[in-house]
A and B are shown apart, each in its own frame.
Chain A
Amino acid sequence: MSGKNSFEPRIIGFLCRWCSYQGADLAGTSRRHYPPNMVPVRVMCSGRVDPTFVLKAIADGADGVLICGCHPGDCHYQSGNFNAMRRYPLLMKALEQFGIEKERVRLEWISASESEKFALVVKEMTETVRRLGPLEWNRRLFQEGQRKT
């Protein structure tokens, strides 16, 4: 990647199987256009998205992470998305301390019928992360300064 213009963000999306993944599916069958930068990972519930998944994605080189679940109250498992809702602000607080911009990790509620919202969120997030530039955590590690004079 030579400059910011040629930078294509890599975003990992954790999509809940019941709502958001269906919303993504609908976006596809409805032929909605959205950037191809988000790699979807289907999970059973947004509550299954352990903070470890987010950190692992970043540590392995993701520039952003998107977590999508059913709207509060609509969880297939009744309360899974409430767990996602409780984790997210605490995770964001920790990530901020790690020096990671809060726009890089986003939580959105997207139902199976909200294909338009899904396409919009992916588009917005891709543009935001593109502006922020590469995160490149996997290349950062230990490269700086471990030298002797």
Chain B
Amino acid sequence: MAKLKLALYWAATCGGCEVAVLDLNEKILDVAAAADIYLWPVAMDYKYKDAEAWHDKFIDVCLFNGAIRNSEGEHLAKLLRAKSKVMVAFGSCACFGGIPGLANVADREGVFARVYGETPSTDNSDGTRPQTSFTVPEGELTLPYFYDTVKTLGQTVPVDYFLPGCPPVTKQIWAVVQAIVAGQLPPPGSFVGVAEKSVCEECPRVKEEKKVTAFVRPHQVIPQPEKCLLEQGLICCGPATRGGCGAQCVNANMPCRGCYGPTERVTDQGAKMLSAIASIIDATDEAGVKKVVDQIVDPLGTFYRFGLPNSLLTRVRV
């Protein structure tokens, strides 16, 4: 059997997905035995012009991580889509927008004003901002154009498979790699390396009646290790989040943050999470409800932590 031609690319991302691939440890040698890597900017020295020279569908599988934040990400997404037989949205940023997608609370101007002006560590009295083109004696320097709105990979190009997670857990990556090598892939458009049900199904904690009179944040308490975190007043996104991670965070005594995205039949993860949280508030009058709700500091950032671009509203109105 001919070796698989593999490409790995990163757009707006932290690099954690790349580390997750390396976390395959010695199994990475099996990957190398089954596949030749043709593009992997984070680990190997390949140029975009090499990729541009390939014929269409030259690459068998492209693992694309990161959201689409600027013109470079969009260009590479379109290029690699054309050059790849199978396009995999790898990790939560590519699937749902991820943490970079939270920048949709602002637009380009808002992000620039904050980053290049307002942050306490910034000293930029000249008000220098990134330019897409700048001429120096040696020639012209260019930077990608920064968009107002972060998009998911699927909102930019057609995607064949979605492998979520921040980052995807190693055993799921391995299972997907094996399926690719064996040619046993599910129908295009599927989520792979995930469970069908929510994180709560995988969570080993004891769950009883949920009635919460006060919410707390993780830095304020040390949670009991056996009891459901929601019942302890911690906002755990397990009920509205797809399983497949093996409930790693709750097993480490931290609430689920929702990185695997919504379950199969849910459109908007944040709305479902909001509904779940509201339903456990132990109050039957408007003032009592308000008192509890006031303790939830940042509903948007908490319930849409990994999925703002993928949500129904997609971004904040500016």
Contacts and interface: CB of A to CB of B under 8 A. Distances in A.
A121 interface: no
Contact of A55 (B132, B268, B290, B317): B268
Nearest to B281: A86
Interface string B15-40: 00000000000000000000000000
Contacts of A58: 312-313
B108 A145 contact: yes
Contacts, number: 106
Interface size class of B (residues with CB under 8 A): 35 or more
Nearest to A52: B271
Interface stretch (A3-11, A12-20, A92-100): A92-100
A97 B272 contact: no
Interface residues of A, number: 33
A89 B290 contact: yes
B317 A86 contact: no
Given A50-B271, A56-B267, A86 B314 contact: no
Interface stretch (B79-87, B88-96, B142-150): B142-150
A59 B267 CA distance: 12
A93 B300 CA distance: 8
A72 interface: yes
Interface in A56-88: 56, 58-59, 72, 82-83, 85-87
A51 B275 CA distance: 7
Interface stretch (A25-33, A38-46, A134-142): A134-142
Given A94-B270, A145-B148, A146-B147, A87 B275 contact: yes
Contacts of B314: 59, 141-142
A90 B284 contact: no
Contacts of A52: 266-268, 271-272, 275, 312
A56 B272 CA distance: 13
B107 A144 contact: yes
Contacts of A55: 268, 271, 311-313
A98 B102 CA distance: 12
Chain B: interface secondary structure?
mixed
Contacts of A149: 132, 145
A82 B284 contact: yes
Contacts of B300: 94, 97-98
A78 to B, nearest CB: 11
Contact of B289 (A85, A94, A142, A144): A85
Contacts of B285: 72
B237 to A, nearest CB: 14
Interface string B292-318: 010010111101000000011111111
Task: Count chain B CB atoms within 10 A of each CB in A89, A100, A144 and give the residue with the most.
Answer: A89
Given A93-B293, A145-B108, A149-B132, A99 B151 contact: no
10 contacts: A52-B268, A87-B279, A89-B289, A90-B278, A94-B300, A94-B303, A97-B301, A99-B316, A99-B317, A145-B108
**Which 7 pairs of residues, A with B, have the shortest CB-CB distance?**
A99-B317, A145-B148, A97-B300, A51-B271, A87-B278, A94-B299, A86-B278
